[in-house]
């Protein structure tokens, strides 16, 4: 207390709303703070664990699916579908995503008050707003796929989506208004996501330099995210239209916007190349002094104990490993991509990804979207709208797959598919090994849950049982291999969705009447 300057009423770590938008430097810091809100969200006890986008979206997205297995009880609530409105996993996901959204809204409102000058043009202000609207759209999309039914279910059902917040909450009357806002419909939520991304595409720069090309929003990132969102709407024509802005008609498919291109190696966007590569379109930045920590960073969660000095908690499930579309010669199964532990070194043994090897300083960016996904999004949309086996869709699939499946015997040709549905199935299957440990499995489970042709037997598929004591012998490359499973959850079960947190229900009388059924 004695060393404090009591006359300095404005701390150096924060700026008031009235002063934050008075200079270009302060505006730049305020915008950076929106990204930080997504990367450094707090968990219980004010511990940083990367909620929602510094790492948590990876781990929670994988633990909701069946392609990664759990070797400990760390993510058991998510993995075993035992969440309730008080569980930290879903509570802090909701709270931190909306906290980032509010930061974005505060900055957007502040930008409207900034004075245009030679050093701060209207175009710069518009670009800053576009960054905030990109992040706002991204956060709302992750919220709607975790807390609401898919678009294919009943998109116009009242209060079926999530509250789409566009007004800054700063105190007083703004709080009063916010706690009266209820859930939008799913359709309204998606319309607003697209509206924000359209603005972002129009106002953002085509590309940036250095690590900012990946960690700050760009025109290409807005377009890429729209291909994902449109895929979730089953709007194949719009997936194709958006993707065609990035993807040329023929190989090698290098984008004219942002110069995106597949790396030659299946792990070319990871490890030491995580911050500078041609394939990562948007990732959330982590570094050695600001990351999700030992209990949240992907390096510690996904890495083997003996090979990488990780915690050995999230491993590759034998369910995925043994699929026929994931052949034994696939380079994503090679020692370059996989580290194996034996029981005793990690407790349960098993195969672990090498996508996040920096266990010591935990610097890896958390991936949101890669160019490989844009190619597969486009391939799926083309295949679904074709009357036969679409050759461009096959070429896009092969571009992604053949850098990993290098033996001709396992590569696809037009003769591999009797119908376009067979090709579509192969494209959907390819997403599973390609985006392993990137948190995308739940997004695909969610969007396909009511698909007429490709839905699974259960809404949440059966998973390798958490009680398995030795995973090592289960990687047989044989789909007929059996082992103990945790039962799947039917789509009709209330546990398909996360509950709105108790704190939100208590504070918002409108949302109190709109809790997901069953909770």
What is the pLDDT confidence band of residue 290, given thresholds at 50, 70 and 90? very high
Q: What is the CATH classification number for the domain harbouring 73?
A: 1.25.40.390
Domains in the chain, number: 1
**Per-residue confidence (pLDDT) for residue 143, from 0 to 100:** 98
Angle at alpha carbon of residue 50, lines to 49 and 51, rounded to 5°: 100
- Looking at residue 501, the DSSP 8-state letter turns out to be P
**Per-residue confidence (pLDDT) for residue 11, from 0 to 100:** 41
Alpha carbon distances (Å) from 46 to 40, 88, 99: 10, 12, 14
Q: What is the largest CA-CA distance in the chain?
A: 80
Phi, psi (deg, nearest 5) at residue 485: -120, 150
Nearest to 263 by CA among 249, 277, 247: 277
Q: What is the pLDDT of residues 226-235, one digit of tens each?
A: 999 999 999 9
For the cut 90, the answer to whether the pLDDT of residue 371 exceeds it is yes
**Per-residue confidence (pLDDT) for residue 10, from 0 to 100:** 40
Nearest to 212 by CA among 279, 133, 281: 281
Whether residue 7 is contained in a domain is answered as no
For the cut 60, the answer to whether the pLDDT of residue 2 exceeds it is no
Q: What is the pLDDT of residues 187-244, one digit of tens each?
A: 999 999 999 999 999 999 999 998 899 999 999 999 999 999 999 999 999 999 999 9
Nearest to 23 by CA among 96, 139, 119: 119
**Per-residue confidence (pLDDT) for residue 308, from 0 to 100:** 86
Phi, psi (deg, nearest 5) at residue 432: -70, -55
For the cut 60, the answer to whether the pLDDT of residue 346 exceeds it is no
- Looking at residue 462, the DSSP 8-state letter turns out to be -
Handedness of CA 17, 22, 28, 31 (dihedral sign): positive
CA-based end-to-end distance of the chain: 47
* DSSP track, 316-355: E-HHHHT-TTS-TT-GGGSTTTEEEE-TTTSSS-EEEE-S
Whole-angstrom Cα distance, residue 178 to residue 158? 19
In this structure, of 18-27, 40-49, 167-176, the range with the lowest mean pLDDT score is: 40-49
Whether residue 1 is contained in a domain is answered as no
Whole-angstrom Cα distance, residue 389 to residue 420? 5
CB 228 within 8 A of CB 134: no
**pLDDT averaged over every residue in the chain:** 93
What is the domain extent for residue 247?
Answer: 24-512
Mean pLDDT for 478-500 is 97
343 Rama sector, left if φ>0, alpha if ψ -120 to 50, beta otherwise: beta
Whole-angstrom Cα distance, residue 95 to residue 505? 12
What is the pLDDT confidence band of residue 1, given thresholds at 50, 70 and 90? very low
**Per-residue confidence (pLDDT) for residue 3, from 0 to 100:** 36
Whether residue 70 is contained in a domain is answered as yes
For the cut 90, the answer to whether the pLDDT of residue 262 exceeds it is yes
Mean pLDDT for 133-146 is 98
| Percentage of the chain lying above the pLDDT 90 cut | 87
**Per-residue confidence (pLDDT) for residue 16, from 0 to 100:** 67
Phi, psi (deg, nearest 5) at residue 419: -140, 170
Handedness of CA 236, 241, 246, 248 (dihedral sign): positive
Whether residue 517 is contained in a domain is answered as no
**Per-residue confidence (pLDDT) for residue 8, from 0 to 100:** 37
Q: Is the pTM of this model over 0.85?
A: yes
Angle at alpha carbon of residue 189, lines to 260 and 64, rounded to 5°: 70
Whole-angstrom Cα distance, residue 487 to residue 93? 25
Q: Report helix angle 420-434 to 371-384, nearest 10.
A: 160
Mean pLDDT for 121-150 is 98
**Per-residue confidence (pLDDT) for residue 14, from 0 to 100:** 59
Whether residue 182 is contained in a domain is answered as yes
Mean pLDDT for 28-55 is 89
Mean pLDDT for 449-460 is 94
Whether residue 18 is contained in a domain is answered as no
Mean pLDDT for 92-113 is 96
Whether residue 12 is contained in a domain is answered as no
Whole-angstrom Cα distance, residue 460 to residue 415? 33
For the cut 90, the answer to whether the pLDDT of residue 306 exceeds it is no
What is the pLDDT confidence band of residue 43, given thresholds at 50, 70 and 90? confident
Mean pLDDT for 430-442 is 98
Whether residue 357 is contained in a domain is answered as yes
């Amino acid at each position: 207390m004695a060393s404090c300057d009591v006359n300095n009423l404005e701390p150096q770590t924060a700026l008031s709303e009235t002063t934050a938008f008075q200079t270009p430097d302060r505006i730049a810091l305020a915008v950076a703070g929106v990204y930080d809100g997504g990367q450094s969200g707090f968990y219980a006890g004010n511990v940083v664990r990367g909620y929602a986008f510094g790492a948590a979206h990876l781990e929670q997205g994988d633990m909701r699916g069946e392609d990664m297995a759990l070797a400990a009880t760390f993510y058991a609530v998510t993995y075993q579908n035992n969440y309730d409105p008080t569980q930290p996993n879903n509570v802090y996901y909701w709270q931190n995503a909306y906290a980032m959204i509010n930061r974005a809204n505060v900055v957007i409102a502040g930008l409207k008050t900034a004075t245009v000058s030679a050093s701060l043009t209207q175009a710069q202000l518009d670009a800053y707003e576009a960054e905030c609207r990109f992040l706002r759209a991204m956060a709302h999309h992750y919220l709607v796929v975790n807390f609401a039914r898919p678009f294919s279910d009943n998109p116009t059902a009242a209060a079926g989506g999530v509250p789409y917040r566009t007004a800054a909450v700063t105190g007083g009357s703004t709080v009063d208004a916010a706690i009266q806002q209820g859930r939008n419909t799913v359709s309204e939520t998606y319309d607003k996501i697209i509206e924000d991304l359209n603005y972002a595409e129009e106002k953002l720069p085509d590309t940036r330099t250095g690590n900012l090309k990946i960690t700050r929003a760009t025109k290409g990132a807005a377009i890429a995210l729209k291909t994902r969102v449109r895929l979730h709407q089953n709007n194949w024509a719009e997936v194709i239209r958006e993707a065609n802005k990035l993807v040329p008609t023929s190989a090698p498919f290098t984008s004219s916007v942002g110069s995106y291109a597949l790396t030659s190696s299946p792990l070319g966007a990871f490890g030491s190349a995580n911050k500078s590569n041609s394939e990562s379109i948007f990732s959330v930045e982590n570094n050695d002094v600001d990351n999700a920590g030992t209990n949240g960073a992907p390096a510690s969660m996904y890495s083997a104990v003996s090979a990488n000095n990780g915690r050995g908690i999230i491993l590759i499930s034998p369910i995925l490993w043994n699929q026929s579309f994931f052949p034994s010669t696939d380079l994503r199964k090679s020692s370059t991509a996989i580290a194996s532990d034996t029981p005793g070194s990690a407790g349960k043994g098993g195969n672990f990804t090498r996508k996040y090897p920096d266990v010591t300083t935990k610097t890896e960016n958390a991936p949101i979207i890669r160019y490989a996904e844009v190619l597969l999004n486009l391939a799926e949309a083309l295949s679904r709208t074709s009357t036969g086996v679409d050759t461009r869709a096959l070429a896009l699939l092969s571009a992604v797959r053949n850098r990993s499946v290098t033996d001709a015997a396992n590569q696809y040709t037009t003769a591999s598919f009797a119908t376009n549905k067979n090709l579509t199935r192969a494209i959907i299957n390819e997403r599973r090994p390609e985006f392993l440990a990137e948190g995308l499995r739940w997004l695909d489970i969610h969007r396909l849950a009511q698909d007429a042709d490709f839905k699974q037997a259960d809404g949440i598929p059966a998973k390798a049982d958490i009680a398995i004591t030795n995973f090592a012998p289960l990687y047989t490359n044989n789909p007929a291999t059996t082992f103990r499973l945790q039962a799947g959850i039917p789509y009709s079960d209330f546990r398909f969705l996360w509950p709105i947190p108790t704190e939100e229900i208590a504070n918002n009388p409108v949302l109190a009447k709109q809790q997901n059924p069953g909770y």
